[in-house]
Amino acid sequence: MALFERHPGGVRATVAGKRFLASMRRVLKDLDDTLSTGLGKSDQLSIGLDAPLSNCAFLDAVVAFMGDNPDTAVILTEAPTAELASGLRDRSLETVIAPSRGEHPDYASLPLWWDRIMVAMAPDNPLADFDVVECDGIGQQTILANTHCSDLSLVPGTILRELPRPIIRHDVSRISLINLVRRGLGITLLRESDARSMPHDIVFRPLHWRERPMRIRHCATWRRDNSNPVLAAFIAFLLKRCPAP
């Protein structure tokens, strides 16, 4: 299995190589955490995010927490949901901010905010003439998604299976995917909090199912057996700064 491949611009990692590098980052972080603990430097908090840190209320809370705790090192990690779940299991991450995936006996969670799912499209797309887009309205569209981190995973599988056209998955960043949408190559789905930071020449419409908006609840999730006092302080801080609506 090849981890790297030649490219006109040099050498780049294959899909397997990217996964290997992500695993190595977790191993190195575990080693760094172990060394830090041995040196008495335990005042740190690792937070995993499954999307760009674009929600203003949560971003303000993180910044305020860091301001109130200047001796605490807050480490942010942005990664696909599967890698974040692995980080919680192997303790390389202490809390993860991501859409709720249901209850688990080993984990506790704190609801933070709701997000609507938005359809992103070029201004000349026929769907742009509507105030909202029903799920059956995207059936005749070319739907673009990211290979590793896609907001399509937030849509019930029963809806996706009924789509008559295949979903085209690209191994590119979120911004590159939006640029493909801008050129009229298809539509994609984003969370409303992420849509606010996107280019202004992209049209966004709320996605509805059976005349009701599709929404997701973001939560902070952590291991119940995590005894890090910094984590406890951060969760208590979130309870005050980000009360669940």
CATH number at residue 135: 3.40.190.10
**Distance of alpha carbon 172 from alpha carbon 149, whole angstroms:** 10
Backbone angles phi, psi at 207, to 5 degrees: -90, 125
Flag whether 10 is in a domain. no
Q: Are residues 120 and 182 in the same domain?
A: yes
Flag whether 89 is in a domain. yes
Residue numbers of the chain with a pLDDT score lower than 50: 37-41
Q: Are residues 45 and 92 in the same domain?
A: yes
Inter-CA distances, 50 with 98, 184, 189, Å: 6, 26, 15
Q: Are residues 169 and 225 in the same domain?
A: no
Where in 122-243 does DSSP place strands (E)? 133-134, 143-146, 167-170, 188-191, 203-209, 212-213, 215-223
Residue reference for tokens 């609840």: 217
Which structural domain range is residue 136 located in? 115-216
Q: Are residues 121 and 201 in the same domain?
A: yes
Flag whether 2 is in a domain. no
Flag whether 55 is in a domain. yes
Strands 203-209, 133-134: pairing kind = parallel
Flag whether 3 is in a domain. no
Q: Which residues of 137-149 are buried (b: 16+ CB within 10 A; e: fewer)?
A: bbeebbbbbbebb
Q: Are residues 23 and 83 in the same domain?
A: yes
Question: How confident is the model at residue 23, as a pLDDT?
Answer: 67
Q: Are residues 27 and 102 in the same domain?
A: yes
Flag whether 66 is in a domain. yes
Q: Which residues of 34-45 are buried (b: 16+ CB within 10 A; e: fewer)?
A: eeeeeeeeeebb
Q: What residue type is assigned to position 135 of the chain?
A: C
Q: Are residues 55 and 101 in the same domain?
A: yes
Question: How confident is the model at residue 38, as a pLDDT?
Answer: 42
CB 49 within 8 A of CB 78: yes
**Distance of alpha carbon 174 from alpha carbon 183, whole angstroms:** 15
Q: Are residues 95 and 71 in the same domain?
A: yes
Q: What's the number of domains the chain is made of? A: 2
Question: How confident is the model at residue 153, as a pLDDT?
Answer: 65
203 DSSP β-pair partners: 121
Coarse DSSP helix, strand, coil percentages of the chain, rounded to the nearest 5 percent: 35, 30, 35
Q: Are residues 52 and 104 in the same domain?
A: yes
Q: Are residues 139 and 184 in the same domain?
A: yes
